Structure 1
Amino acid sequence: MASTPTPSPQQPAPHHLSVSEHRSAAEHLSAAEHLSAADHLSAAELIDVVVDPESFVSWDEPVPDPAGDSTIDAGYRADLVKARARSGRDEAVVTGEGRIRGRRVGVIVSEFAFLAGSIGQAAADRIVAAIERATREGLPLLAGPASGGTRMQEGTLAFLSMVRITAAVRAHRQAGLPYLVYLRHPTTGGVMASWGSLGHMTVAEPGALLGFLGPRVFEALYGRPFPKGVQVAENLFDKGLIDAVVAPAQLPEILDRALGILVPASAAPVPPPATLAVRPATVAAWDSVLISRNPRRPDLRQLLAFGAIDALPLNGTGQGEKDPGLLLALARFGSQSCVVLGHNRRRPSQDNAMGPASLREARRGMRLAEELHLPLLTVIDTSGAALSQEAEEGGLAGEIARSLHDLIGLRAPSVSVLLGQGAGGGALALLPADRTIAAQHAWLSPLPPEGASAIVHRSVDFAPQMSAAQGVHGAALWAAGLVEHVVDERPDAALEPRAFCERMSRAIEFELSRLRVVPLDELLVARVQKYRRLGRT
């Protein structure tokens, strides 16, 4: 996030993972042609880079020497013997545990020098055993695949081993344990289509060839080369399939930050902030609307920069979509970790109104919060959802409905923040939460006041009157019980962005801390009741 402002000297700089450093796919059109396994780290070298010195302990049980095994085809037996000699390994994966900046982590790393990192039954046994051990011992897992896929010499049974590996990953994730993936050059076939694509967070090696079907196989089958630049890490990032492109040397820092958020230490209760005594602004609703539209008003990026201890952005839906209208991140406000999703404030030079892909990305964040047992923070600051043919054909209305459905039943504590503008279905889609914090001049309405005026009066000239009549401003939202916590502006957040964001972050930390001690079933009942009380019955 290159546009993130630099925090003040009084506050430690948050360590945002900058996406400005990622080169475009166009700069890597022939990357796969110039890279080979020899250009990249072996399993042992990657482990040495990532884990703390002398902390790695192998979990591998020895694989029997194939040299004297007459049950194996002679040609394959010879391949296995050569692979052992070439790689110095007895199989295509190395497993064990190590410490990353002091934290215990399970590790599964492919050894590409052993038959192109291909997965046969012995390798699959080793992977499954490692995942299950990490699950039993409550350890996060780092997977570093580099593989051509399943081992052709072992046929269908090797192919089917991807199912049991996936089942083990699923059980690990269902236990609420982080599964982090570092995709290395090359990762293709069944590995990419199973344990290589199931990470809570997935980053990749620069220039890595990543895809389902290897380009050499495609050309052999179809008689023409696969298009250049498609199966390159940077292109996958551009398409929202992976979260970042990271050199091996950067990986320990990224993993440390991710684990610092995903595996938070127990924290003492957060003292009540001064903002609990703040009440809504007494100005007219239209005045708040105008104040909220100031282009200098702090947005979500600044809230993370000035208010969060750390924020690690994620990228896209993981299913081939990304939308500039939404920001998804893992973050820590004071002692409280959370998944953050919120609107990217619309800029005059940008067309980043929230589209349907934004909400599919938001729902990825909701699933992460549930699975990782982290609270969810949603941040609302939008002039309205995208209005276009593409948004309609992409199912925007349905995505708003599904977002509401998921938030009202979210099996995780949730806090929503009304940061500025709150217009229409785009705002409503991120609103339902256990607690709602509002900036003093934030507002919420079915449409921008001008739109409401056009419907009722056939003219936008009555927007000020409509904003008052509709009760869009903080005072009305507070009176209705929708907003429980107000953060003051002195007198306008645009005039004091750093101080405002610091106050907001303390309010967020307090509300997250308060919710973490409430049983989840109680939260779910109270959440529904909160919105039921807004009705007339």
Structure 2
Amino acid sequence: MPTTEKVRHLTAAELLDTVVDRGSFVSWDCPAEEPVLSDAYARDLAKARERSGTDESVITGAGLIRGRRVAVIVSEFSFLAGSIGHAAAERIVAAMHRATAEGLPLLAGTASGGTRMQEGTLAFLSMVKITAAVRAHRKAGLPYLVYLRHPTTGGVMASWGSLGHINVAEPGALLGFLGPRVYEALHGEAFPDNVQVAENLFTKGLIDGVVEPSDLPDLVGRALDIVMPCRAAAAGTLPTAPATLFVRPAPVDAWTSIEISRQPRRPDLRQLLKYGASDALPLNGTGQGEKDPGLLLALARFGTQSCIVLGHARPLRKDAAGMGPGSLREARRGMKLAEELRLPLLTVVDTAGAALSQEAEEGGLAGEIARSLYDLIGLESPSVSVLLGQGAGGGALALLPADRTIAAQHSWLSPLPPEGASAIVHRTTAFAPDMAQAQGVNVASLYANGLVDHIVDERHDASLEPREFCVRMARAIEYELAAVAGVPVPELVVARAAKYGSLGPR
């Protein structure tokens, strides 16, 4: 969207009226305590108050959003371009600390040119204490949601504007580190068009979505329903045991399962979320400028159980690249979200293999696989993994370690696709079926060796009954998520390491 398009943007008060349930907002603001002022700066502040109708560049308080109490910090851009000086920073930090103390999720609606030039370096340094307050809020396991409004630049974008568990933006919003006017003044030429625009940041994997203000209440409500479920009601109670607890491996050889797993119409993670999840809210990218289509990251709920989901997104085209290192960096974002929000992690394995390319090698694919394994085996959160279909190589291994593993009857796990293993041993792919059987890649072998804990039947082939299969898988996931959620995390971490340290015939 061109940045030159003239659009009227909401004031802080108008955003609050749009997002917060009518009549529920209560201000937390105290009179602003300004630093020592020059006469010129005092006049600037007086004019800003008169123009904006607010006493500072931020409004803070709490209100209901879709019936749930939420702390809110909203920038008022008409007050000195929403800039942050001492008084505004103190107000932001006080609101963050109060939200943390009261156990409230926090929504920040930024619109700012950055730190206040009239207050110099000390205003610039205030971004550090604001960031410390964000960190304390997140470390308390409380959601921090950010709505980036037009424009958000400078120190605000480079601190509390980029630290949300979920970061979404207003359509067409100018978002960036260096404001375009500053760039032009310093370099004598205009900044390239449409780089610092919300839609471009979404494409690059820097934000999770582009959302109209009118749609923000629903988004916040859905996100909080997932990440802050009512734990008291389900505490210590397992869902009804699903029939899949009694399913055993399919009585077929490994190659038959591999061929079934490769059916083009086999249900994938997208369909599992569509047919099996009570709700699913997709996230986008690493937040660091990478968006690899090989992985899907989402907040989701299966029945009564909320979780962070990350898994392989099966390529929609045969010529699509395999999972690259960016996918695993996005996966590690999901792992951190699970730990910080104190939610179970669900990983879904369904890959024909990671990318084999110069870009993947130079992007550090091997190192990302290693770091993913490192993070999963020590994850400070309950975890469940699902073998949904193909499970070839390091790309599959990178998402596997978990407290419990569910497998579709015809899923499999192998160091390489069987054709590759055959080529290494026999210098031809002709022995792929024999290699698959000998290597023990199928669910029968994985179950016998203690890796798979729960099997979901396919009633011959999941591609022939995608919706029904996904419903059965979802019930198995709900059950296993509930089972691990009831165990203290330190016990899970010890048992997880012991499980992978003792795999073998049982």
What's the TM-score, normalizing by structure 2? 0.98
In structure 1, the partner of 2:105 is: 140
Match of 2:350 in 1: 381
Identify the residue that residue 196 of structure 2 maps to in structure 1. 231
Aligned partner of 1:240 in structure 2 is 205
Aligned partner of 1:534 in structure 2 is: 503
CA deviation after TM superposition for structure 1 residue 348, in Å: 3.2
Name the residue aligned to 2:86.
121
SS of the residue 1:145 aligns to: strand
Residue 205 of structure 1 corresponds to 170
Report the AA paired with residue 113 of structure 2. Answer: G
Which residue type is aligned with residue 189 of structure 2? R
User: Displacement of 1:271 after TM fit?
Assistant: 1.4
Provide the rounded CA distance (Å) in 2 between the counterparts of 1:271 and 1:350. 43
CA distance in structure 2 between the aligned counterparts of 1:466 and 1:491, rounded to whole angstroms = 23
Give per-residue Cα distances to partners, 1:430-461, cap 9 Å, x unaligned: 00000000000000000001000001111001
Moved more, 438-447 or 527-536: 527-536
In structure 2, stretches of 5+ residues that fail to align are none
Instruction: Answer yes or no: is 1:83 the counterpart of 2:48.
Output: yes
Shift of 1:350: 4.8
Secondary structure of 2:297's partner? strand
Aligned to 1:327: 296
Q: Which amino acid aligns with 2:411?
A: A
1:110 aligns with 2:81: no
Matched, 1:61 2:26: no
Tell me which amino acid in the other structure corresponds to 1:290: E
Distance in 2 between residues matched to 1:424 and 1:55, nearest whole Å: 53
CA shift digits 1:376-424 (9 cap, x unpaired): 0000000000000000000000000000000000000000000000000
Partner of 2:238: 269
Amino acid at match of 1:137: E
Q: CA deviation at 1:349?
A: 4.4
Contact kept? 1:344, 1:352, Cα under 8 Å: no
Match of 2:396 among 402, 410, 427: 427
Change (3 A) 1:303 1:536: closer
Contact 2:449 2:504 in 1 (8 A): no
**1:149 alignment partner AA:** G
Residue 150 of structure 2 aligns to a residue in which SS? Answer: coil
CA contact (8 A) 2:311 2:399 kept: yes
Determine the C-alpha separation between the residues in 2 that align with 1:269 and 1:120.
Answer: 51
Whole-angstrom distance in 2 between the partners of 1:322 and 1:135: 31
Q: Is 1:51–1:99's contact at 8 Å kept on the other side of the alignment?
A: yes
2:373 — aligned with what? 404
Residue of structure 2 equivalent to 1:304: 273
Q: What is the distance in 2 between the residues matched to 1:348 and 1:155? A: 53
Q: Who is 1:17 aligned against?
A: none
SS at match of 1:402: helix
1:22 matched residue in structure 2: none
- Taking only aligned residues, the RMSD between alpha carbons, in angstroms, comes to 1.2
Secondary structure of the equivalent of 2:37?
Answer: coil
Q: Structure 1: how far apart are the matches of 2:398 and 2:425?
A: 24
* SS of aligned partner of 2:416: coil
Q: Which of 197, 218, 226 does residue 253 from structure 1 map onto?
A: 218
Counterpart residue number, 2:58: 93
Q: Deviations over 1:20-60 (max 9, x none)?
A: xxxxxxxx2x32x2346xx1000010011111110000000
Shift of 1:62: 1.5
Q: Does 1:34 align with 2:5?
A: yes
The 2-side partners of 1:170 and 1:442 are apart by 40
Local SS of the residue matching 2:45: helix
1:349 and 1:236 mapped to 2: Cα distance?
Answer: 28
Q: C-alpha offsets along residues 219-270 of structure 1, whole Å, 9 cap, x if unaligned?
A: 0011111111110000100110000000001101111110010101122421
Letter of the structure 1 residue corresponding to residue 168 of structure 2? V
- Alignment-derived partner of residue 283 in structure 1: 252
| CA distance 1:350–1:251, change in 2 (3 Å) | farther
Q: Distance in 1 between matches of 2:320 and 2:180?
A: 36
CA distance in 2, matches of 1:321, 1:339: 19
Q: CA deviation at 1:128?
A: 0.2
Kept in 2: contact 1:323–1:352 (CA 8 A)? no
Of 73, 86, 91, the residue aligned with 2:38 is 73
Counterpart AA for 2:29: D
- State the percentage of identical aligned residues: 74
Residue 144 of structure 2 is aligned to residue 175 of structure 1: no
Distance 1:536 1:505, change over 3 A: closer
Question: Who is 1:504 aligned against?
Answer: 473
Say if 2:454 is the partner of 1:475.
Answer: no
State the shift of 1:75 in Å.
Answer: 1.1
Aligned AA (1:433): A
Structure 1 stretches lacking a partner, 5+ long: 1-27
Contact 1:295 1:347 in 2 (8 A): no
**Separation of aligned partners in 2, 1:396 and 1:165:** 35
**Per-residue deviation, 1:536:** 9.1
Aligned partner of residue 414 in structure 2, secondary structure? coil
Q: Deviations over 1:318-355 (max 9, x none)?
A: 00001000000000000000000000112334514100
- Are the aligned partners of 1:346 and 1:383 in contact in 2 as well (CA < 8 Å)? no
* Distance in 1 of aligned mates of 2:77 and 2:407: 52
CA contact (8 A) 1:382 1:427 kept: yes
Deviations 1:65-84 (A, max 9, x none): x8xx9x41111111101100
Deviation at 1:491, TM superposition (A): 1.2
Counterpart CA distance in 1 for 2:498 and 2:99 is: 39
Aligned residue pairs, count: 502
Looking at structure 2, the residues matched to 535 and 421 of structure 1 have their Cα atoms a distance apart, in angstroms, of 21
Question: Residue 215 of structure 1 aligns with which residue?
Answer: 180
Task: Give the counterpart of 2:340 among 347, 371, 378.
Answer: 371
Q: Which amino acid aligns with 2:443?
A: G
2:121 is matched with 156
Give the aligned partner of residue 340 of structure 1. 309
- Deviation string for 1:281-305 (max 9, x for gaps)? 1101000000000000000000000
Aligned-partner SS, 1:380? strand
